């Protein structure tokens, strides 16, 4: 089938590859709208609804228990479609726990405790940064979630503030809500054979702040910049966790005439613009497919809700997938999609086709391994004769596509019903759904979008009144933003703009401020050591994780007292990484890198200068560079290079003047 040019009224013209289509998309004409939901773990002393610590553990758990979760009706008697979807997987959930850092609240065997006050304060700080209006009372709600990630079958969430905005470049992006919710249990593994999913309860209940923007974002780059800006404000509080998995982005994307797509759980900020870009591309291409189906006079009603047992057609098939299914007692079923010929093989995202979308539905709703379709056949051991016989058995013509699934009868029927439903949606346009990101920035179907039925009031947790006294106390003690801190480091500590920018966004920021405050050492030296020297040592294979904060504190104290020269820092750190139980004093003694006295240094320099009088007279002041190399090699980090150069230059000038 010929591919299409974006925006062209005719779809049967010269082809363009997906990569070319992506480059030519005009997001303004497309009507791209993006909203973000940032979820950030808070670094608090306790969990949101109990007094367990907020730590993630790798040790072997102390025990486990097993549950199965079921959806419940809302107050209006409705069942959330996303909850129903999860229930139909019929999974059992295996929960691992620790005796000393998880409790009966996480197991849903004890009522939740009161909301954590520290978490509320952090949310109010963010609300103040963003100009949001804090609610008078915080009322937790229950949000139905039965994928096993919460033992209760729901997640507790509470609105803390509404409104406000954040500046993204020169543009104001609105804030809809700031919420406080509990993080989910940590998924450890899936046991597909027994239909089990294993979770660990250490993460369950860690406080999360959720910041939802209005759909004011209009380009992929703007989405990434907005997420970065909000992330920096969160870090400005000084009370959020750092590291992979501690911050996650959900992205809502739509284009004109498309659907609202929620992409959940994006952890890599640098992939955000790519994810938005490729989702806009996917919706654009799906709308192009819709137009072609309309031109072919295909309506949803024409796609029959019928599945056909075509096992006889494939009884002698050479396809390994089909033979394996038949050997296990399975069947082969097929569905006819009128007018879809050539469309299932159409690429809608890099390496993903419309057929891939149908396969995602088949896997999730039917539990099958995948599907075949006639756009890609003959292939995979299925011959042209097999395809012709298949078409005859289904009375299909050359304009029809056929989808084939091989597995247990019930799985095949469930999978093909989902495929047919998705094919009907393709005639209408872009179905709203929840998707998850893949490593290359594309996405795949995860589940239906949840409805309003999933939310209902929490009756086991007291509401929290927000007093004016509390708001005034927080606003009087607001932490600096990272931008304010960066400016202060430049003005007060003398850091360069580049170094100040680097250290304010570093995981070493709290340590940097502590070392500057407590060691009377040059702030620039501390920043360079933390941001450059340690990185360089790590690249050279030094295990810098074994260097403790106490090591760094004692080392910089020794530097400030003149016991170590700045040139000796890399060697001292290397020794401490190799001998983590050693003290800095021991490292100095063993390495012999203790700083020499000024008198000894001057004597050594005087000795080298006197031995090179002729060389100095021949080369003049340029001799300083050569002699610096000789001296630094002999001194081996026992003296500061700047000091050595100053004394050496003075001595060389004395020789030249005489």
Q: DSSP string covering 394-438, please?
A: HT--TT-EEEEEEE-HHHHHHHHHHHHHHHHHHHH----EEEEE-
pLDDT score, position 453: 60
Predicted model pTM: 0.80
239 and 173 in one domain? yes
**What pLDDT, in 10s, does the model give residues 2-39?**
333 333 333 332 345 666 666 678 999 999 999 999 99
Tell me which residue of 533, 502, 37 sits closest to 248, measured CA to CA: 37
Q: Is residue 69 part of a domain?
A: yes
The total number of structural domains in the chain stands at: 4
238 and 93 in one domain? yes
Q: Is residue 473 part of a domain?
A: no
pLDDT score, position 73: 62
pLDDT score, position 609: 72
Q: Is residue 444 part of a domain?
A: no
207 and 139 in one domain? yes
Concatenated DSSP letters of 450-474: P-GGGEEE-SSS--EE--HHHHHHH
Beta strand 372-373 with 401-407: parallel, antiparallel or unpaired?
Answer: antiparallel
177 and 323 in one domain? no
Residue 628 host element (H or E): helix 623-635
pLDDT score, position 590: 82
pLDDT score, position 640: 63
327 and 246 in one domain? no
C-alpha angle 105-107-109 in degrees, rounded to nearest 5: 70
**What pLDDT, in 10s, does the model give residues 135-163?**
999 999 998 887 889 999 889 999 999 99
506 and 399 in one domain? no
pLDDT score, position 138: 97
Question: Among 562, 591, 620, which residue terminates a domain?
Answer: 591
Residue 315 is part of which domain span? 299-430
188 and 115 in one domain? yes
pLDDT score, position 635: 57
List, for the chain, all residue ranges whose pLDDT scores fall below the cut of 70: 1-23, 71-89, 451-454, 593-602, 604-605, 624-625, 628-629, 631-641, 643-644, 652
pLDDT score, position 626: 74
pLDDT score, position 388: 94
Q: Is 514 exposed, middle or buried (0-12, 13-18, 19+ CB in 10 A)?
A: middle
């Amino acid at each position: 089938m010929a591919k299409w040019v974006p925006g062209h009224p005719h779809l049967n013209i010269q082809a363009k590859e997906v990569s070319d289509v992506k480059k030519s998309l005009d997001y303004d004409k497309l009507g791209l709208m993006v909203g973000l939901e940032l979820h950030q773990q808070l670094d608090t002393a306790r969990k949101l609804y109990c007094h367990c610590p907020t730590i993630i553990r790798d040790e072997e758990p102390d025990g486990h228990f097993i549950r199965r979760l079921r959806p419940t009706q809302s107050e209006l008697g409705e069942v959330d479609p996303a909850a129903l979807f999860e229930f139909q997987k019929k999974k059992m959930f295996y929960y691992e726990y620790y005796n000393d850092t998880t409790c009966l609240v996480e197991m849903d065997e004890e009522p939740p405790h009161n909301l954590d006050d520290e978490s509320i304060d952090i949310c109010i700080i963010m609300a103040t940064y963003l100009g949001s209006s804090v609610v008078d009372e915080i009322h937790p709600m229950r949000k139905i979630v039965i994928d096993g990630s919460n033992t209760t079958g729901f997640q507790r969430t509470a609105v803390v503030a509404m409104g406000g905005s954040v500046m993204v470049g020169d543009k104001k992006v609105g804030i809809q809500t700031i919420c406080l919710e509990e993080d989910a249990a940590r998924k450890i593994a899936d046991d597909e054979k027994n239909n089990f999913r294993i979770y660990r309860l250490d993460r369950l209940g860690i406080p999360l702040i959720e910041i939802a923007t209005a759909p004011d974002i209009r380009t992929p780059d703007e989405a990434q910049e907005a997420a970065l800006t909000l992330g920096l404000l969160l870090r400005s509080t000084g009370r959020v966790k750092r590291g992979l998995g501690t911050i996650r982005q959900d992205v809502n994307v739509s284009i004109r005439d498309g659907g609202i797509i929620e992409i959940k759980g994006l952890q890599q900020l640098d992939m955000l613009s790519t994810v938005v870009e490729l989702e806009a591309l996917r919706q654009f291409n799906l709308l192009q497919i819709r137009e072609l189906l309309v031109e072919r006079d295909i309506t949803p009603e024409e796609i029959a809700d019928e599945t056909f047992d075509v096992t006889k057609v494939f009884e002698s098939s050479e396809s390994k997938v089909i033979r394996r299914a038949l050997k296990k007692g399975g069947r082969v079923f097929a569905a006819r999609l009128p007018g879809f010929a050539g469309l299932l093989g159409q690429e809608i995202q890099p390496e993903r086709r419309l057929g891939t979308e149908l396969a995602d539905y088949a896997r999730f709703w039917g539990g099958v391994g995948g599907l075949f379709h006639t756009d890609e056949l003959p292939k995979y051991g299925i011959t042209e004769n097999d395809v012709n016989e298949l078409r005859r058995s289904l009375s299909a013509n050359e304009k029809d596509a056929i989808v084939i699934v091989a597995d247990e009868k019930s799985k095949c029927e469930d999978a093909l019903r989902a495929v047919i439903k998705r094919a009907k949606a393709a005639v209408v346009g872009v179905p709203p759904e929840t998707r998850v990101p893949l490593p290359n920035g594309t996405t795949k179907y995860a589940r239906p979008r949840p409805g309003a039925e999933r939310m209902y009031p929490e009756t086991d947790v007291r509401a929290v009144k927000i007093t004016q006294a509390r708001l005034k106390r927080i606003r009087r003690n607001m932490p600096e933003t990272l931008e304010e801190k960066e400016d202060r480091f430049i003005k007060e500590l003398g850091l360069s703009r580049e170094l100040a920018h680097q250290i304010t966004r570093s995981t070493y920021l709290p340590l940097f401020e502590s070392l500057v405050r407590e060691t009377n050492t040059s702030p620039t030296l501390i920043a360079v050591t933390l941001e450059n020297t340690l990185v360089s040592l790590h690249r050279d294979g030094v295990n810098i994780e074994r260097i403790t904060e106490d090591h760094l504190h004692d080392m910089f104290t020794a530097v400030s007292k003149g016991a170590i020269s700045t040139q000796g820092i890399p060697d001292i750190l290397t020794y401490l990484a190799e001998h983590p139980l050693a003290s800095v004093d021991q490292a100095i003694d063993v390495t012999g890198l203790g700083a020499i006295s000024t008198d000894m240094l001057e004597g050594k320099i005087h000795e080298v200068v006197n031995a090179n009088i002729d060389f100095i007279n021949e080369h003049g002041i340029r001799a300083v560079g050569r002699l610096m190399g000789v001296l630094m090699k002999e001194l081996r980090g026992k003296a500061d290079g700047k000091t050595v150069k100053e004394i050496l230059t003075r001595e060389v000038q004395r020789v030249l003047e005489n």
